[in-house]
Structure 1
Amino acid sequence: MEMIAHGIDLVDCPRIEQMVQRHGERFLDRVFTASEQAYAEASRNTVEKLAGRFAAKEAILKLMGTGWRGKIAWTDIEIVNNAAGQPEVTLAGQVKEIAERLGIKHISVSITHTANFAIASAVALTRMQQH
């Protein structure tokens, strides 16, 4: 039996801006893939784009019920836009293994932001856990 899994996250954009200013490339490379960084840097709203991707990654882990633990790397989740401008999720490493165990084949995300906040929602079909 399948069920809908959902995760949502809200990020304070100035907090992401502070992290970038304080830690620079170290923070960016730890949290965002090269494609995600290029996408954000090509925009005049770089911080908001990064915050949106950050929120989406958090939302995805919430729908899986895992949080950031074990060998999960931020870059195990990549969110890039398709030709139509819709964000698409690619999983790797530990996150991909968890998704496979849960029977998740596809995750859809929606991201929006203002100058101050970014919010993301993630949904997926997953196998119902038997207790």
Structure 2
Amino acid sequence: MTAIRTGCDLAAVQDVLDGIQAHGDRYLARVFTLRERADTGDDPERLAARFAGKEAVVKLLRPTRTDAVPLHDVAIVSDEHGAPRVELSGAAEALAAAAGITSIDVSLSHERGLALATAVALAER
């Protein structure tokens, strides 16, 4: 049976700025992959959109209370045309495989201090 899964999230750009100001590279390294940082140039608005994207994907994967999905296991990177693309590893990849999810689409937006993301996938189990 095929089921549509969705996830969405809203993030404040100020929260990302606060994390960077309080913890600098330690915060950036804990939350974002090197590829995400390179794709965004560490721009707080674009990073906030990626953070929202990560959260939207995790919601779509539906982890249980005992599942830990580190933020690094979900990367929102830019494809060759600049569109956002989801890359999974570790626990996130395992949850997707268990649900029969082979591809996740994500849409990102940011404006007036807020970043929004929506993720969609087909689950085959």
Query: Normalising to structure 2: TM-score of the pair?
Result: 0.93
Q: Distance in 2 between matches of 1:68 and 1:52?
A: 25
Query: Structure 1 regions of 5+ residues with no counterpart?
Result: none
Q: Distance in 2 between matches of 1:115 and 1:41?
A: 19
2:111 equivalent to 1:108:
no
Q: Distance in 2 between matches of 1:14 and 1:107?
A: 27
Displacement after TM superposition at 1:115 (Å): 3.6
Secondary structure of the residue aligned to 2:24 is helix
Q: Pairwise CA RMSD of aligned residues?
A: 1.6
Contact 2:58 2:69 in 1 (8 A): no
Describe how 1:3-82 pairs up with structure 2 within 5 A. Answer: 3-41=3-41, 46-66=43-63, 70-82=67-79
* Distance 1:68-1:15 versus aligned 2 partners, 3 A rule: farther
Query: Normalising to structure 1: TM-score of the pair?
Result: 0.89
Displacement after TM superposition at 1:79 (Å): 1.2
1:74-116, Cα deviation, whole Å (9 max, x unpaired): 1111111111221111100011001000000000000000140
1:41-66, Cα deviation, whole Å (9 max, x unpaired): 27xxx000100000000000111112
* Distance 1:122-1:67 versus aligned 2 partners, 3 A rule: farther
Opposite residue 4 of structure 1, the aligned amino acid is I
Displacement after TM superposition at 1:72 (Å): 2.1
Provide the aligned length of Structure 1 versus Structure 2.
125
Secondary structure of the residue aligned to 1:109 is strand
